Amino acid sequence: MINEMPTLKEKLQGRAPKIAIILGSSLGSFADAVKDPLRISYGDLAGFPIPKISGHAGELVVGKVGGKEIAVLAGRAHAYESGNPAVMRPVIEALKAAGIEILILTNAAGSLTPKMRPGSIMMLTDHINQAGMNPLIGSHGDENFVPMTNAYDLQLQKALKTAAKKEKLKLHQGVYVWYSGPSFETPAEIKMFRLLGGTAVGMSTVPETILARRFGLRVAALSVITNLAAGIEGASPSHEETKREGAKAAERMKTLLTRFFKDLK
């Protein structure tokens, strides 16, 4: 008989976090803030995809942040790596089965407005699925008709704003546009996204939000602004810039999230 790989709940060794966070590009250093860490490689977890993009470690770290037990996922797989928008579904399902109730998503994004400069942090209030993909396509059952009116939990948004105020951090708010990638957007596409009401653009997060809402998790999301989008003030984004600017903003993100977790009821 072939031994099945242990589930995430089994690998947690009795720990019971209710909150999980998925770290975006170059935010992996947040995992270093975890106290009394239990480290689990994605390769040791059934169904967890191994990220193939630099800046995504592919490791789950469970421990205390701000006094709360948190499951920190250092890295994600993106839809553009395989063409599968549901690539993170096994992860979201495993988190739900392990008792996670709240999912915090983070990402690196390009700003669609000159007023929001690289290094800024933006809280997502809504999103636009410009990629044209959906991680629930092919699933059956009425539970897949997921309402997305309040995809980003209003109470969690309020708590993030309060945490930012306490730490004297400027927290922008706006609409995130999901672009499939991996190529960056053209200046013409950026003009269109701005006309549609977008505030920032990136290549992740939206499919995870849809999946999380499908499985009943409360969601909040934050973007680290790593660049001005293509054509704005002559900008021409690169992955190197994304990693460099994301790393610079990581400390502010760590301060914000630590306060948020500490105060969260």
Residues carrying an active site annotation: 25, 56, 78, 80-81, 108, 203-204, 227, 239
Closest of 57, 26, 221, 257 to residue 119, by C-alpha: 26
CB 126 within 8 A of CB 152: yes
Unique residue bearing structure tokens 């106290």? 35
Strand residue runs (E) in 132-212: 171-178, 200-202
For residues 158, 167, 257 and 53, what is the CA-based torsion angle, rounded to 10 degrees? 120
Amino acid code (one letter) for 9: K
Closest of 91, 92, 95 to residue 71, by C-alpha: 95
Q: To 10 degrees, what angle do helices 239-263 and 154-166 make?
A: 90
